[in-house]
Amino acid sequence: MEINERMEANEGTEANEGMDAKQRYLAKPWCKFYPPGVPETVEIPPISLPCLFEQTADKYASRVAIHFYGTNIKFQDLKDQVLRMANALSHLGVKKGDRVALYLLNTPQFVISYLATLRLGAILTPISPVYTSPEVKHQLSDSGAKTVICQDILFSNVEKTGLKLDHVIVTGIAEYLPWLKRALGKSLLGRVARDIEIPKVDLSAADGVHQFQDLLKRYPPTPPEVDLDPLTDLAVLPYTGGTTGPPKGAMLTHRNLLATQRQTTAFWPVMEPGKEVIIAFLPFYHIYGQIVAMVNSLFLGGTMVLFTTPDVDDIIDAIDDRGATVLYGVPTFFEYLKEYHRTGQAGWKRLKLITCGADTLHEATITSWQGRTGSKIMEGYGMTETTAVSHANPLGRGKVGSFGIPIPNVLAAVVDPDTNAFVRPGEVGEMVLRGPNMMGGYWQNPAETGRTLVDIDGDGWLKTGDLVRMDDEGYFFFYDRKKDLIKYKGYSVFARDIEEHLMKHPQIKAAGVIGVPDPTVGEIVKAVIVLQNEARGKLSEEDIVAYCREGLAHYKVPRIIEFRGELPRTDVGKTSRRELREEVEAG
């Protein structure tokens, strides 16, 4: 594939001039910018996640593991409930290798069920709480899960799948709220699902349906011992977001998860075992929230300040009230907060680490945020297939516009998307990755596995589908998803370039760019725009085009402008270009 936007490489050293393209990546130029004390590689111990959790829980027994709207659960109590639920699942017939689906909101029950399932050697497949019954059916059918642990308000979606399941374990949000705050449970649920009613029927009367708390009370904390091989035994089967195609299950082992936990904590040495307080509002069903917020906190002996919904007032209050030290977020969260009237009330500068992932963080947001809070957002990159993280900006040396450098143990390179030939630093191509946190393949999908895990020059690499470039210092810059590349009269147009320019306009709140098929030029650039409230009805299509002509090459200027009240987004806040394209295809 020819990419017209080839960036010239920065001037390199004489030593680098003699290297070929592949050798420049293998030289790992990024390592020289690791913070002091960060190693090039970290050891991944041969231990299973349940074993490591129990060691951590014993070490920090009296420390609060989860703070949930006024309820504190200490590590010793969390371990007790994990072992009780593992014993209960075992008595229900769940065994090593079985798939167990979690259809839950961010609650203590998610953490307990997650660890209990792993304790038995079973495989977790988390389902998005916003999934409809057909989407739930696809994931249950594809994964083969016969046991589901679900939120009571989502039980009807499980029933409507029509699938024959062995067991459904039902739980409610109020079960872990202080009695004075039980009413808060209804408020929280209202924010999550305004149109869903909590079932009034006696769910326990149905065949194969169990109540979460009943199981905890009935079974002692004595589950059977299970032999686990961290290197080969699967731990989690998360499904990709489906932004560019049908969701696929990524096979992640115990070692994959532990690798990411060890790699990220080594890369951010400010994080200290037994001392961190982590704001956990990112959805746990998603790999980002699950690994960086939940798993990192659990195995670091940290305290999770757990939120079912990302209510900004609750989060702002918790920054100071709970003594938060770490915050993980997504671009939409920071875009909202940078203008929010209460943002200045929190002590953001006291946080050790503020990171952003899951989507591109616009430069305008970074600048506004730093001006408003005096703190910096460290942007990173990861995929479901990389167990959440592969890159991040190093503390003290972040680059605006870059998603950072590879974390320890990760090797990254850029290749021609069609030939897999390595391209020189500075040139745009598809990013490929190697490391202990890379998935083993897609569940029961050898065709997609073969397209993603490839052999290049005798080595195995994971093709990300993302078009990037690496500068001579080893920092990576995102351009677009390969499937989002727009072809106009032979030019390659990156949607992100146009979106970034549009977002600099003070009267534009959000923008999504796609290509619309055209028989004469290939694809026409279309921009879907959400205006700031005060600009609606005042800014015209012609104004947008004129603005773009001032800052973009002629072939990048949108030919179609559409104003909307909001953009379609995935359940983690990404602009869903797939939905925008599907709307065009549907006429």
The residues spanned by each domain of the chain are 20-43+256-447+465-480, 77-227, 485-585
**C-beta separation of 326 from 276 below 8 A:** yes
Q: Would you say domain 20-43+256-447+465-480 falls under CATH 1.10.150.20?
A: no
Q: Quick one: pLDDT at residue 165?
A: 95
Span 145-167, pLDDT tens digits: 999 999 999 999 999 999 999 99
Fold type of domain 77-227: Rossmann fold (3.40.50)
Q: Quick one: pLDDT at residue 184?
A: 56
Question: 77-227: same fold as 20-43+256-447+465-480?
Answer: yes
| 457: region left, alpha or beta (phi > 0 left; psi from -120 to 50 alpha) | left
- Could you tell me the pTM of the whole model? 0.85
C-alpha distances (whole Å) from 428 to each of 7, 99, 476, 553 are 7, 40, 10, 18
In 10-158 the beta strands, taken as DSSP E runs, fall at 64-68, 71-74, 99-103, 123-126, 147-151
CATH class of 485-585: alpha beta
Q: Quick one: pLDDT at residue 361?
A: 82
Per-residue tokens: 482: 């390969």
Per-residue tokens: 513: 């760019």
34, burial (CB in 10 Å: exposed 0-12, middle 13-18, buried 19+): buried
Largest CA distance in the chain: 76
pLDDT by 10-residue block (mean), the chain, 587 residues: 40 46 95 95 95 97 96 97 98 97 97 98 95 92 97 92 95 82 56 49 69 96 96 96 72 97 94 95 94 95 94 92 93 86 88 87 83 89 95 92 96 95 94 97 95 95 95 93 82 84 90 87 90 89 92 89 87 77 80
Cα 498–Cα 499–Cα 500 angle in degrees, nearest 5 = 90
261, burial (CB in 10 Å: exposed 0-12, middle 13-18, buried 19+): buried
